[in-house]
Amino acid sequence: MKEVRISLVGFGVVGHGVLEVVRRKWEALRSLGLDMKVVSVSDINGTLFDETGIDPQRLHAAKTLEGIANLDIIGKEAIQEVDSDLVVEVTPTNIVHGQPGLGHIEEALSSGKHVVTSNKGPLVVAFNHLRGVAQENGVMLKYEATVGGTMPLISLIEKNLVGNEILGIRGIFNGTCNYILTRMMEEKYTYSYALTEAQDLGIAEADPAYDVDGIDTAGKVVILANSIFGMSARYEDVSVTGIRDITPEALNLAWERGYHIKLIGEVPSLTVKPMLVPRRSPLAVGGTLNVASIETDLSGTITVTGLGAGSIETASAIVSDIVSIYTSRQVDG
């Protein structure tokens, strides 16, 4: 049984999800030979540390660590001080400067800890740098949850499609935009009405700009460009158009002619824009689904779809990444 001591940095929606998935899948993880222990959880209030492993149920109802933390250290200091093998970095994302996640990931990798993250910001700002730091320190940086949530995209390309040249990736990478456009088309809602519905359901943020202006999708495009295509793309290199100007009449007109309108991100062309998607295309998925078509030289075009966000869904991608770190290392001997 391999003991895996995990430091969880960030205690928001995804952080709660990670604790929950580790609890629910405890037996299954043990049957894979992994004894996963979350030894510390940190947020801005401090760090809860227990070297025997924190009981996730203890934190189930807690929104923050206020009054629960037993160590007065946070962030990089907590990563340094706690003896762990792997850091799960799930703090709020910032696509402009990448902080605080960027500092956390740098610190963890340079202290020889594997990192699994759902935080796009650090990877958008400094993917190639972070990958270099991971290599120098002989540890792994995994980030499946940053693109397409639970939809397996990066691992699909890196593992199952290995040997293929990836010619292009095109898809819907933002469930909020997809939900809004789907409702506008189905119910003939205006953009602003569909947005308020999405906000009421918790699908869209109070400040929706990050989603509806295509910023989130562009961040994912940058991550794919750098990780899959070996580019050195920055956020500024992506040509971005969001969905605010889409009208129900336009959606209806497109529908009559056999098309949906979807916000599509493309790599390596580095574009994010609303596009006409034929109704029968595999990319024509509705609701909050994400979808990606991968064009390859040997395998043709492969399309995957799945839930792009959500606490448990994102956490499932994180836990899969953790498992893959240890199972692939076993093969390496």
Partner 1 sequence: MRLSMDLELQDIPGQLMQSLEPFKKYKGNIISVVHHRDRKTPRGTVPVQIVFEIDPSNIENIKRHLEENGIVVVRAGEDRFIEEISVLLIGHVLHSDLGDTINRIDSTGFAEVEDLSLRMPGIEEPSSAYLRIRATGKEEIGKSLSILRHVGAEKDLLVIEPIEAEKI
Q: Which of residues 95-124 bind partner 1 (CB under 8 A)?
A: none
Given 72, 187, 237, 249, the residue binding partner 1 (CB under 8 A):
249
> Catalytic amino acids?
220
Report if residue 269 touches partner 1, rule: CB under 8 A: yes
Given 106, 144, 266, 321, the residue binding partner 1 (CB under 8 A):
266
Residues 136-175 as x/- pattern, contact with partner 1 by CB under 8 A: -------------------------------xxxx-----
DSSP structure string for 188-228? ---HHHHHHHHHHTTSS-SSTHHHHTSHHHHHHHHHHHHHH
Report if residue 250 touches partner 1, rule: CB under 8 A: yes
Given 65, 194, 261, 309, the residue binding partner 1 (CB under 8 A):
261
Q: Please, what is the minimum distance in Å from the beta carbon of residue 219 to partner 1?
A: 19
Q: Please, what is the minimum distance in Å from the beta carbon of residue 285 to partner 1?
A: 13
Q: Which of residues 36-65 bind partner 1 (CB under 8 A)?
A: none
Q: Residue 12: how many CB atoms within 10 A of its CB?
A: 14
Q: Please, what is the minimum distance in Å from the beta carbon of residue 168 to partner 1?
A: 3
Dihedral sign of CA atoms 90, 74, 35, 159 in order: positive
Q: Please, what is the minimum distance in Å from the beta carbon of residue 171 to partner 1?
A: 10
Under a CB-based contact definition with an 8 Å cutoff, are residues 259 and 274 in contact? no
In this chain, which stretch among 7-15, 82-90, 276-284, 320-328 interacts with partner 1, using CB under 8 A?
A: 276-284
Three-state SS letters, 166-186: EEEEEEECCHHHHHHHHHHHH
Report if residue 239 touches partner 1, rule: CB under 8 A: no
Rounded Cα gap, residues 306 and 155, in angstroms: 14
Rounded Cα gap, residues 157 and 107, in angstroms: 28
Given 105, 212, 283, 319, the residue binding partner 1 (CB under 8 A):
283
Q: Please, what is the minimum distance in Å from the beta carbon of residue 77 to partner 1?
A: 44
Give the residue with the Cβ less far from partner 1, 1 or 298. 298
Question: Which of 100, 118, 124 has its CA nearest to residue 42?
Answer: 100
Rounded Cα gap, residues 176 and 82, in angstroms: 37
CA distances from 63 to 10, 11, 45, 59, 101 (A): 11, 8, 11, 8, 20
Question: Which of 87, 258, 240 has its CA nearest to residue 173?
Answer: 240
Q: Which residues sit at the interface with partner 1, rule CB under 8 A?
A: 167-170, 241, 245-247, 249-250, 252-254, 256-257, 259, 261, 264, 266-267, 269, 273-278, 281, 283, 293, 295
